[in-house]
Amino acid sequence: MKNKLFYTIQEVAEMLDIPASTLRYWEKEFSVLKPQRTSTGIRRYTEKDIEFLKKILYFTRDCGYSLDGVKKLLQTHKQQYLDPKYELVVTLNEMKVMLLDMKSQLEN
The yes or no reply on domain 9-107 and CATH 3.90.550.10 is: no
pLDDT tens readout for residues 6-55 = 999 999 999 999 999 999 999 999 988 899 999 999 999 999 899 889 98
Per mean pLDDT, which of 1-5, 34-38, 69-73, 90-94 is the most reliable? 34-38
First to last CA, the chain: 23
Q: What is the CA radius of gyration of the chain?
A: 15
Residues sharing a CB contact under 8 Å with residue 75, sequence separation 6 or more, in sequence order: none
Looking at the predicted structure, is the pLDDT value of residue 81 above 80? no
Domain boundaries, the chain: 9-107
